[in-house]
Structures are given as C-alpha cells and as structure tokens.
Structure 1
Amino acid sequence: MEITTLCYIEKDNKYLMLHRIKKKNDINEGKWIAPGGHCENGESPDDCVQREVLEETGLRLKSAKFRGIVTFYSKAIRDEREGLYTEEEKDPWSKDVTDYMCLFTSDDFEGELADCDEGTLEWVPKNRLSELNLWKGDLIFLDLISSPEQPFFSLKLTYEGDVLTEAILDGVKISL
C-alpha cells in the first residue's frame, strides 16, 4: 500500500499536465496526469506534493489546497503481462493493490518550468482535458475539483487493468 500525491496546478484557466512517455515500465505510460508521486519515509502529503512538483516541474508551490483522497483499488490481471518485467522490476498488474492518493490543487506557485525525466509538461486548457489520454477515473475527480466550493471528498476507484469498473464517492456508488 502506497500513499501518493497529485497536484493540478492552474494558470490562465489551464492545468499543467504531464504526458508520461519517458519512464520505462510505467503504469501511467502514454497517459496524461498531473505532477505528483510517492511519499517518502517521514513525509506528510504536504511535504510530498511540494517535493514532487519541484522535482517534476521546477515550480515551487507557495500554497496548495488538499481537495480529496482517492483510493485506487487495482485488481490483478494475471498472466496478461507475462514476460514484460524482470524479477527485479515490480509488475504493477500481477497482484491486487490498494493505494491512497492525496489530491491537491494550486494556483500559487513560482519558478520556471524545467524538463521532466518522466514525460513532457504542457499547459492544457481545462475544457480540452477530456480530449487527452486520461485514466477514466481522473475525469471524475477533475469534475469534482472544477468547483472551488466542492467540499473535501473521498473517492474510491476500482480498476481491472486499465478499465474502471466501479466508483464510490463519499460512500455512495456513482454511475460510470
């Protein structure tokens, strides 16, 4: 079980998105996601989001708003990715996995964009996000964070491989 962060950084009605095309054996390969990553030992989600955004973008968050927690439950698709990974590499599809992602937004940052070793960064207009290759569950929480008045939420997303099979918002199943 991992704790991760993700931060939608906003400027001029656009979000900074990362097209994950450079990292090998990446569960997000080819997808567009916001900057973020795994919490390290001793880090709070706030510490993690600050560090990950700086590492991936070169931007320093002056403030970030914790908008919700997303539980990812990934059901294994056994044998489908046989032979793609060495023993030293973790096959992200070989077992059931539950991860918790702390979702942040920010429009208060400084610095200049830097190259990212995990993909290509691009400012994408909010109204064009649905045209990108996103995880289907991302569209759900992007809709939730589109309103500054949206209260803190808990969202559980169940995937079988890369297929979203269930979404539960604040304890209530929602239609996909």
Structure 2
Amino acid sequence: MSKSCLTTLCYLEQDGKYLMMHRVSKKNDVNRDKWIGVGGHFEEGESPEECLQREVKEETGLELLSWRFRGIVTFIADEHPAEYMCLYTSAEWDGDASCLPDCREGVLEWVPADEIGGLQLWEGDRIFLRLLAENAPFFSLKLRYKGDVLEEAVLDGKNLME
C-alpha cells in the first residue's frame, strides 16, 4: 500500500485577483499544464502553518503575515498516493507582490477571480474555488479521480455528484 502525503495550498488574494501558478516547468508533474495556487509537501516535523509559510516564501518570495485556514481536501487517485491538503487563503504579506521571482514549479500570475473559471483547472479545484468565492465556512472535501476525470466529490459527507 502506498503512503499518503500531506500538503498545503494557498490562494493569495489582492484587488479581486488570485495569485495562480501555471504548472509548466516540470516534465513529470501531476499538475502539468494546470493552474493552481502555491504550496507543497510538508517537511518532516512541520505543522501545516509552517509548511504554508515556507512554501509561499520559497515559491513567491513573499512572507505571509496572516492567513485563513479554509478547509481540508482529500484527494484519492488511481495513479497516485492519497493526499491530504490543508487549504488556505491570505490577503496580507510582506514583500512586493508585483515583482515575483521565477519559480521552478511554474509561472506565477495574478488572475482576476472572475476569469479563473476559464483556466485549465482540475475539476475538483473548481469546487473548492467556488467555496472560497462564496466564503463558505470551514469544509472537508473529498475528491476521487480516475486519471484526470473526477469520479466523486463529497462535501462535508454529502455526495455532490448524485
């Protein structure tokens, strides 16, 4: 049985835009060509908040001053180990958000929130991005994929695909 992984993902918000990463840099990237927020895998002994702060700093050069823990997303996929992702948003950081460094993971871009739906996203990401836009209370979302196809979405124990 393969080991599960723990990750964080953060959507930085500014002037009606989200900071998005177009994952085009790595060849063997499960997120290849998709648009996602910033974040990554926990290092040994890190708390979710420590992972969040480190990943945002590494990928954007920005130092988070505050954040909001929005939900837990469980990803189940036929080709990858289970992933448990802590989802955050932030609108307060130290650093110049208009001059972002090159990132080895992909290309960073500020995208107007109302244009994100037109990007190449995972189908499950569309669900939690909608929840963020609706300012939903803390949630638990389980997403089951077969290849790139979303087969199941369960929000707080309720199947969204029935």
Identify the TM-score tier after normalising by the shorter chain: over 0.9
- 1:24, 1:45 → 2: CA distance? 27
Query: Residue 167 of structure 1 aligns to which amino acid in structure 2?
Result: A
Q: Gaps (5+ residues) in structure 1?
A: 77-91
2:101 matched to which residue of 1?
Answer: 114
Determine which of 105, 121, 126 is the counterpart of 1:139.
126
Aligned length: 156
Instruction: Normalising by structure 1, report the TM-score.
Output: 0.86
Q: Name the SS for the 1:143 alignment partner.
A: helix
Question: Does residue 152 of the first structure (1) align with residue 138 of the second (2)?
Answer: yes
1:20 matched to which residue of 2?
Answer: 23
Q: Name the SS for the 1:142 alignment partner.
A: helix
CA drift at 1:146:
1.0
- 2:33, 2:6 → 1: CA distance? 22
- 1:53, 1:24 → 2: CA distance? 22
Determine which of 20, 25, 29 is the counterpart of 2:32.
29
Look at both structures and tell me which one has the larger radius of gyration over its CA atoms. 1
CA drift at 1:137:
0.3
Determine which of 85, 90, 99 is the counterpart of 2:83.
99
- 2:161, 2:146 → 1: CA distance? 17
Query: Residue 50 of structure 1 aligns to which amino acid in structure 2?
Result: Q
Q: Gaps (5+ residues) in structure 2?
A: none
Report percent identity of matched pairs: 58
Q: Name the SS for the 1:23 alignment partner.
A: coil
- 1:41, 1:4 → 2: CA distance? 12
**Deviation by residue 1:114-153 (Cα, 9 ceiling, x = unmatched):** 11111110000000001100000000000111133x2110
> What value does the CA root-mean-square deviation take over the aligned residues?
1.1
1:161 matched to which residue of 2?
Answer: 147
CA drift at 1:175:
2.4
- 2:152, 2:9 → 1: CA distance? 21
Runs of at least 4 residues off by over 3 Å: none
